[in-house]
Chains A and B, each alone.
Chain A
Amino acid sequence: MSEITGILHGPQLPDAGVPVRVQFLGDLLRIEGPRVEDVMAESLEVSVTGFNDDTLLLAWRNEDATHAVTIADAAAQRALVASAPESIARKLRGGRNAVRYHRGKWNVLLGALAACVLLIILVWWQSEAITEWIAGKVSHETEVAIGEHALAQIETESVLTQEGLAAKTLAEIGGRLTTGSRYQYRWYVSDDKEVNAYALPGGIIVVNAGLIAKAGSADELAGVLAHEIQHVEHRHTLQQMIHAAGWAAVLAVVLGDVSAITAIVVHQLGNLRNSRKLEAQADAEGMKALARAGIPVEGMPAMFRRLQSEEARIGDDTPGLLSSHPATAERIAELERLSKTLRCECRSLSYDWPAVQTAATAVAN
């Protein structure tokens, strides 16, 4: 049996106490220090003491004076409890549990803190997967309703139209690309002169007049549409809105300002940025959709190439589509690689492109 050591405090002893060895002998507690002393186990009072409540205190009265042994070492405490006679064992276990409670509560507290930090890191790290999961849970009706709200927001800032040659051309090309889709697509031309196009949840595609004016052919426009349609089909825009709303909610909780949520979501509507992964997915799926619809897949890389050269020419005045869809060299290379692998019985779209462009410019003015 391991030796149990403690410190004995009492009258006629040094103020700081003296080291002793203690052990149970039947119903007696034997204390071996400067002299050997036996105490009846059942006369012992057990309590907890110490700087951090981690020391067992065994006290007894003898000749009108209090004597006490303190046992600080955890192993010694365990050994003491294990060897205690029945008359004192319950009290000792109670004291030992109190010690363990005081030690344990800090472990629990620190553990909970660590768990919170881990959770935050996990959420940060896996935020894309989480938003994807949430987006998957949103019902079709809700998605359409969100799209309607977003559309209403955009209509306060720019004029959208479904009339005219430009919008009709959009609807025709888009119709070919979205055959068999579960979404009811609607196609809008915006009066915005910026070179940009975007998708709203629930099947709303908005193309700026500026983009139609810049595109070299109907095939190039089809490339952009094919890409944006994938953002709807795969609920990318919805994911990004949930992502932004999530951060806005965190901000609102931290800053205590609920109006922040609406402000941020509304601000982000027009220029939600999809992650590189989502963009690559939209590119690849868009190319396949073009091939299925029998529209030349080269339109998409051609459009991005046009935008890239445009960017180089204008300098830092980046077209809007590029700010959300960076036309990096790798991206164009990847698109061209894809266009070679895809088998396609394709024929170029036969539209009077200059007429469509004129119609679009009319919308803008």
Chain B
Amino acid sequence: MAQLTYRVEGSDLQFVEIILGPGDAVVGEPGAMMFSDEAVELDTRMGDGDDVGFFSRLAAGFKRSFTGENFFSSIFTNNSSAPLRVAFAAPSPGKIVAVDLASIGGTLICQRGAFLGGTRGVRVGLAFKKRLRAGLFGGEGFVMQRISGSGTAFIHASGTLAQITLRAGEALKVDTGCLAALQPSVTYDVKYVGKLKTSILGGEGLFLAQLKGPGLVWLQSLPMKRLRASLLGASMAQGRGLGARMAYFIGVIIFVVIVLSTET
């Protein structure tokens, strides 16, 4: 398949618009599609949408669902003779990045649920983190996604995505949860912050992820846990204020009604 033509639109709430040449096909997560041209044919397949046997597809489906993706894949095919469009939208505020898998060695490891879509033939597998402390405290859990193939994969992450190159032996301290994706040659481990004072008062938690080169890493600026905490905090504060005010007004109304009814 020829190189994929695409355009990422929007600044913080992005979608990617892909131009499908005649005969081209892309896979997407069910529910990720935003719009497509009338003539694009949509099909749902178990697993990654590969043309393989039933049990391989079943196994692929289970692998996908373990990594936070859907059991099924949607396949968008252009069977017409003219180029057609299909667009996938990110499910949360953040950036969409296109990764050319061939140029990074064929494999990319991502956080759960990062895969949005890609060239047909891109597979989503399991990357099991075989290190207890990293699995427990690294913020990504034990299961990550291993995206492999030779085409383009669209991954999304919340917040802004930063691509950082690590030279051999170069290491980076990363807040747990900020890791979005990494090349498989990068070492991913968890280090204890080391100072009780820092861990309690510093607001960074007890552990920090450590990424050590060589290779590429992608970091996200707004991990779900931060977004969730700030939204939860805001909604709680708002809710409590509203409830108190409502109770006050209802109290006043009841008082007025009682006063009025006793006066006559």
Interface residues of A (CB under 8 A from B): 7, 9-11, 14-17, 19, 47-53, 55, 57, 59, 66-68, 70, 72, 102-103, 106
Contacts and interface: CB of A to CB of B under 8 A. Distances in A.
A67 B168 contact: yes
A194 B169 CA distance: 82
B66 interface: no
Give 4 closest A-B pairs by Cβ, nearest first.
A68-B168, A9-B214, A16-B104, A15-B165
Given A51-B127, A102-B130, A15 B105 contact: no
B188 interface: yes
A72 B168 contact: no
Contacts of A47: 169
Nearest to A15: B165
Contact of B185 (A11, A17, A59): A17
A66 B163 CA distance: 20
Nearest to A65: B167
B216 A15 contact: yes
Interface size on B, as a range, is 20 to 34
B168 A9 contact: yes
B168 A16 contact: no
A14 B214 CA distance: 12
Contacts of A16: 103-105, 183, 215-216
A68 B109 CA distance: 21
Contacts of A48: 187
B187 to A, nearest CB: 5
B27 interface: no
A52 B129 contact: yes
Interface in B205-264: 212-216
Contacts of B188: 51
A17 B131 CA distance: 26
A51 B126 CA distance: 13
A103 B130 CA distance: 8
B191 to A, nearest CB: 15
Contact of A51 (B104, B105, B187, B216): B187
B131 A70 contact: no
A108 to B, nearest CB: 12
B89 interface: no
A26 to B, nearest CB: 24
B49 interface: no
A57 B171 CA distance: 15
B185 A66 contact: no
Contact of B184 (A50, A66, A67, A103): A50
B18 interface: no
Interface in B135-168: 163, 165, 167-168
B84 interface: no
B129 to A, nearest CB: 7
B190 interface: no
B31 to A, nearest CB: 29
A19 B185 CA distance: 13
Contact of B167 (A9, A19, A51, A72): A9
B186 interface: yes
Given A50-B186, A72-B184, 7 more contacts: A7-B185, A15-B163, A17-B215, A49-B212, A51-B184, A68-B167, A72-B185
Contacts of B103: 14, 16
Contacts of B214: 9, 17, 49, 57, 68, 70
Contact of A17 (B105, B128, B129, B169): B105
Nearest to B99: A16
A282 B261 CA distance: 87
A67 B214 CA distance: 9
A327 to B, nearest CB: 51
Contact of A49 (B165, B187, B216): B187
A177 B212 CA distance: 82
Contact of A50 (B128, B169, B185, B216): B185
A53 B165 contact: no
Nearest to B168: A68
A77 B167 CA distance: 21
A53 B131 contact: yes
B75 interface: no
Given A9-B215, A17-B214, A70 B167 contact: no
Given A16-B215, A70-B214, A52 B131 contact: yes
Contacts of A11: 167
B96 interface: no
Contacts of A67: 168
Contacts of A15: 163, 165, 216
17 contacts: A7-B105, A9-B213, A15-B165, A17-B105, A17-B214, A19-B105, A47-B169, A49-B214, A50-B185, A51-B127, A51-B182, A52-B128, A52-B129, A57-B185, A59-B169, A68-B167, A102-B130
B156 to A, nearest CB: 20
Residue of B130, B131, B185, B186 most packed against chain A (CB within 10 A): B185
Contact of B186 (A10, A51, A106): A51
